[in-house]
Amino acid sequence: MLVLGIETSCDETAVAIVEDGFKILSNEVYSQIAIHRPYGGVVPEIASRKHIEVILTVLKEALDKVNISLEEIDVIAVTQGPGLVVALLVGICIAKAIAFALKKPLVTINHLEAHLTAVFLEDKKPNFPFIGMVVSGGHTNLYLVKDFLNMKQLGQTLDDAAGEAFDKVAKLLNLPYPGGISIEKIAKEGNPNAIKFPRPSVSGYNVSFSGLKTAVANYLRRYPNTPKADVAASFQEAVVDTLIAKALKAIREFSLPRLVIAGGVAANQRLREKLFKMAEKEKIEIYFPSISLCTDNAAMVAALGYHYFKAKKIASFEFDAISRYPSFS
């Protein structure tokens, strides 16, 4: 079965074809990072206009790469949310048009749940159930994952997501966007123990990073001559420690020795390094998607779409974009 995935939730225009839910045939991504860099972050209107401009080209590239026609596609899967509504609508409109014109079934996908599905596109796959954490520019969410169609949210960020905190601290340090990459790069030259930034403490499985961001800003006002590398490394260490603490809390309380980390921030090498050390110490299995599948892509959307179709969760044409899903944690 061939599933066409479409992803336009933020600033990547992505189209992919996945066979039987686990095999990537093509996975094309057009990134807008260079376009948004001068603004220090994603501008929704610009992102939407760029999606409109390039999506048909990206679609053609995904099909041409494996010499497949739209008529040969069995199912269309599209990200419904969460994300920027003006960006999501571009992918949704294209998906609806293809499905309607070719009379193909259409399934709608939660972007965050798709991130957790990305790991199943790798050779090494986790068994269910597991604890899943999605760490990205806009989200920091923790899940109890029982199967592809049963992902219970345990906690989320109460303010800034981890990726947002990286971007904002990068601005404080006059580092270029995207902040996660810039901070990780300069942090390699710094001492992660140079500054004792607070590890945000929030009850349950929720997280908060606004206080940490404020602590960095206050520190820089008091000690403006501190090497940027030390500030970056110490801030990064605080974020990583906070994420690991929440993941470990869930692992212990649910007695589940399996952890999946996904989303753009999951590409951070310091996070991976400390998680592997924690996994060895706690005797748990840890899984990451490959770097290319950590960032936004349509292969993960198509992969989850396969399982939705198999479960007969077909969408009508009445659905709209969802900027934010309600929390049930």
Q: Is 134 annotated as a binding residue?
A: yes
Cα 133–138–144 angle (5° rounding)?
A: 20
- Report whether 296 belongs to an annotated binding site: yes
Q: How far apart are CA 108 and CA 111, in angstroms?
A: 9
Annotated binding-site residue? 115: yes
Residue 203 CA to residue 73 CA, distance in Å, equals: 46
User: Is 123 annotated among the ligand-binding residues?
Assistant: no
**Amino acid type, 163:** G
Residue 147 labeled ligand binder: no
Q: Tell me how many helices (H) and strands (E) the chain has.
A: 11, 10
What phi and psi values does residue 125 have, to the nearest 5 degrees? -115, 140
How far apart, in whole angstroms, are the C-alpha atoms of residue 82 and residue 59?
Answer: 22
How far lies 32's CA from each of 8, 38, 42, 84, 169, in Å?
Answer: 11, 11, 9, 14, 21
Judged by DSSP in three states, 194 sits in coil
**211 marked as part of a ligand binding site:** no
325 residue type, one letter: Y
In degrees, rounded to 5, the angle at the alpha carbon of residue 278 between the alpha carbons of residues 275 and 281 is: 155
Task: Write out the binding residues for substrate.
Answer: 134-138, 167, 180, 184, 268
Task: Write out the binding residues.
Answer: 111, 115, 134-138, 167, 180, 184, 268, 296
Task: Write out the binding residues for Fe cation.
Answer: 111, 115, 296
